[in-house]
Amino acid sequence: MIVGMIDFGVGNLHSLAKAIERGGAEVRIETDPHLALAADALVLPGVGAFGPAAAAIEGAAPRIRDALRQGFPCLGICLGMQLLFEGSDESPGAGLGVFPGRVHRLAAKRVPHMGWNGVAAERDPLFRGVEHMLAYYANSYVAQPLEAQDIIATTEYEGHAFAAAVRRVRTWGVQFHPEKSSDAGVTLITNFLREAAR
């Protein structure tokens, strides 16, 4: 399986690519979002700010949105999950709008949210074998889905619960970083690859 990963132009994608390769897939990092869709599955990585990332995919956004709505498998990670929503309070720019809702600043005293947190997951193939995982977070913003059925996992931080993972058709988003979440994170990525191959 070939996974297309979009490079938004910031950050090091090496650890995420290595985690995907550990799951048994080949990774192609593309600066052109159109080329990323030529793979078997798509990963939107979790590095950078919403505005520049939205601008990087703006020209390809309608094509990406249509592909995901038609069942093209996708995993959005941290910022990548946030890009699946309509917009963000972090900065101007339009998200893909695959999930109704917006991204808001985390309502907590200590922001950014950095470090390990428990994840309470629903029954979903993405979390097979890691239903109660500890995951690594590095975020100041969180998505607020308008439709509760899109939420497949939650996390609580300083008394505030938020969506840790979402799913619609074959598009998943996780607010945490599975590539930094030890063996449980690799299991989650492997689950995604298995589902994408179906």
Positions marked catalytic: 78, 177, 179
176 CB-near residues (< 8 Å, 6+ apart): 77, 78, 117, 119, 135, 136, 137, 155, 164, 185
**Which two structure tokens, joined as six digits, stand for 123?**
């029954």
What region does 150 belong to: left with phi over 0, alpha with psi -120 to 50, or beta? alpha
On the CB side of 158, CA atoms within 13 Å amount to 10
